Amino acid sequence: MNDIPHTDNELKTTFASSCIESVARRMGCSATEIYLQLKKTSLLENYIWDFYDTLHTQSREHVTDDIIRALEVRKNSEKK
């Protein structure tokens, strides 16, 4: 068993990575594409990273749905 404690940044990075992969799988595109979209819209830092404490307690499906919704809202607001 691995008893090495993980830093907060390591936990957040692992969680963010799994979110990116889950959204990419659901949307049928590459993880790189989703990463770039999340960076561009600041959702990676200002949503996934900042709200890690709450998000990581939710189901994967719920978090994936929320991220996709937030991404759509940000993309639509950029078009206006």
| 33-79 residue pLDDT tens | 999 999 999 999 999 999 999 999 999 999 999 999 999 999 888 77
pLDDT at 66: 97
Decide which of 78 and 26 is more confident.
26
**Block residue for tokens 């819209």:** 41
Which is higher by pLDDT, 79 or 7?
7
Q: What is the pTM of this model?
A: 0.87
Report which of 52, 50, 58, 18 is spatially closest to residue 34, judged by C-alpha positions: 18
Q: What is the structure's pLDDT at 75?
A: 85
Tokens describing residue 66: 């929320």
**What integer pLDDT is reported at residue 4 of this predicted model?**
75
Q: Cβ(30)–Cβ(24) under 8 Å?
A: yes
Classify each residue of 28-45 as buried b or exposed e, where b means 16 or more C-beta atoms within 10 Å of its C-beta.
eeeeeebbebbeebebbe
